[in-house]
Chain A
Amino acid sequence: MGIDNIIFLLAVSLGIGLFVRNSKRLSRAILQGKSIGKVDRKKERFLHMLRLAFGQQKMHKNLLVGVMHFVVYLGFILINIELVEILIDGIFGTHRVLSFLGVSYAIAISTFEVFAVSVIGAVVIFWFRRNVLIIARFRSAEMKGWPKLDANLILVIEVVLMLLFLTMNAADYALQLREEPQYPSSGHFLVSSLFAPLFDSWTTSSIVLVERSAWWAHILGILAFLNYLYYSKHLHILLAFPNTFYAQLTPKGQFASNEVVTKEVRAMLSMQEPNTAQEIERFGAKDVTDLSWLQLMNAYSCTECGRCTEACPANQTGKLLSPRKIMMDTRDRAEILTKSNLSTSIQEATLLDHHISREELWACTSCNACVEVCPIEINPLSIIMKMREYIVLEEAAAPADLNAMMANIENNGAPWAFNAQDRMNWVND
Chain B
Amino acid sequence: MAECIRTQEVPEVLFWVGCAGSFDDRAKKVTKAFAKLLIDAKVSFAVLGQEESCSGDPAKRSGNEFLFQMQALSNIEVLNGYEVKNIVTTCPHCFNTLKNEYPSLGGNYKVLHHTEFLKQLIEEGRLTLNGGIFKGKRITYHDPCYLGRANEIYEAPRALIKKLDAELVEMRRCKKDALCCGAGGAQMFKEAEKGNKEINIERSEEVIETQTQLVAAACPFCNTMLSDGMTQKGSSVSVKDIAQLIAEAKDL
- Interchain CB contact under 8 A, B150 and A409: no
Digitize A388-429: 1 where CB-to-B-CB distance is under 8 Å, 0 elsewhere: 111111000011011011100110011110101111111101
Asked whether A99 is an interface residue with its Cβ less than 8 Å from the other chain, the reply is no
- Interchain CB contact under 8 A, A367 and B185: yes
- Interchain CB contact under 8 A, B59 and A409: yes
Q: A93 to chain B: closest CB distance in Å?
A: 56
- Interchain CB contact under 8 A, B66 and A264: yes
Of listed A251, A252, A388, A426, residue having the most chain B CB within 10 A: A426
- Interchain CB contact under 8 A, A426 and B28: yes
Asked whether B237 is an interface residue with its Cβ less than 8 Å from the other chain, the reply is no
CB within 8 Å of B: which A363-377 residues: 363-369, 371-373
Residues of A within 8 A of B105 (CB): 257, 262
Residues of B within 8 A of A275 (CB): none
- Interchain CB contact under 8 A, A423 and B17: yes
Digitize B148-162: 1 where CB-to-A-CB distance is under 8 Å, 0 elsewhere: 011110000000000
- Interchain CB contact under 8 A, A362 and B193: yes
- Interchain CB contact under 8 A, B73 and A409: no
Main SS class of interface, A: helix
Given A366-B185, A391-B63, A409-B54, verify A269-B73 contact (CB < 8 Å).
Answer: yes
Q: How distant is the Cα of A376 from the Cα of B139 in the complex, in angstroms?
A: 35
Asked whether B52 is an interface residue with its Cβ less than 8 Å from the other chain, the reply is yes
- Interchain CB contact under 8 A, B180 and A313: yes
Asked whether A278 is an interface residue with its Cβ less than 8 Å from the other chain, the reply is no
- Interchain CB contact under 8 A, A413 and B185: no
Asked whether B67 is an interface residue with its Cβ less than 8 Å from the other chain, the reply is yes
Digitize A253-271: 1 where CB-to-B-CB distance is under 8 Å, 0 elsewhere: 1110110011011101101
- Interchain CB contact under 8 A, A414 and B191: no
Digitize A183-199: 1 where CB-to-B-CB distance is under 8 Å, 0 elsewhere: 00000000000000000
- Interchain CB contact under 8 A, B199 and A317: yes
Asked whether A205 is an interface residue with its Cβ less than 8 Å from the other chain, the reply is no
Asked whether B230 is an interface residue with its Cβ less than 8 Å from the other chain, the reply is no
Q: How distant is the Cα of A59 from the Cα of B81 in the complex, in angstroms?
A: 48
Residue of B nearest to A409 (CB): B54
Given A253-B151, A254-B100, verify A401-B23 contact (CB < 8 Å).
Answer: no
Q: Select the stretch in A143-151, A295-303, A318-326 that faces chain B.
A: A318-326
Residue of A nearest to B30 (CB): A426
Given A314-B199, A424-B49, verify A405-B100 contact (CB < 8 Å).
Answer: no
Q: B221 to chain A: closest CB distance in Å?
A: 10
Asked whether B120 is an interface residue with its Cβ less than 8 Å from the other chain, the reply is no
Asked whether B198 is an interface residue with its Cβ less than 8 Å from the other chain, the reply is yes
Asked whether B104 is an interface residue with its Cβ less than 8 Å from the other chain, the reply is yes
Residues of B within 8 A of A253 (CB): 96, 100, 146, 149-151
Interface residues on B, range: 35 or more
Q: A317 to chain B: closest CB distance in Å?
A: 4
- Interchain CB contact under 8 A, B64 and A392: yes
Q: B82 to chain A: closest CB distance in Å?
A: 16
Partner of A393, one of B63, B104, B186, B194: B63
Residues of B within 8 A of A258 (CB): 65, 69
Residue of B nearest to A362 (CB): B193
Of listed A313, A364, A391, A429, residue having the most chain B CB within 10 A: A313
Residues of A within 8 A of B70 (CB): 265, 268-269, 410
Residues of A within 8 A of B195 (CB): 314, 317-319, 363
Residues of A within 8 A of B64 (CB): 389, 392-393, 398, 406
- Interchain CB contact under 8 A, A365 and B180: yes
Residues of B within 8 A of A321 (CB): 193
- Interchain CB contact under 8 A, A365 and B145: yes
Residues of B within 8 A of A409 (CB): 54, 56, 58-59, 67, 71
Asked whether B31 is an interface residue with its Cβ less than 8 Å from the other chain, the reply is yes
CB within 8 Å of A: which B5-33 residues: 17, 19, 21-24, 28, 31-32
Give the 8 A-B residue pairs with the shortest CB-CB distance, closest first: A253-B150, A388-B63, A366-B185, A318-B196, A413-B53, A254-B100, A367-B180, A318-B195
22 contacts between A and B (CB under 8 A): A251-B100, A254-B96, A261-B66, A261-B69, A262-B105, A318-B194, A319-B194, A359-B193, A364-B185, A369-B145, A392-B63, A398-B63, A401-B191, A405-B186, A406-B62, A410-B67, A418-B19, A423-B49, A423-B52, A426-B28, A427-B32, A427-B35
Residues of B within 8 A of A (CB): 17, 19, 21-24, 28, 31-32, 35, 47, 49-50, 52-54, 56, 58-67, 69-71, 73-74, 77, 96, 99-101, 104-105, 145-146, 149-152, 176-177, 179-180, 182-199, 202
- Excluding A269-B77, A409-B67, 4 further A-B contacts by CB distance (< 8 Å) are A253-B146, A365-B187, A367-B184, A399-B190
Residues of A within 8 A of B (CB): 250-255, 257-258, 261-262, 264-266, 268-269, 271, 283-284, 311, 313-314, 316-321, 359, 362-369, 371-373, 385, 387-393, 398-399, 401-402, 404-406, 409-410, 413-416, 418, 420-427, 429
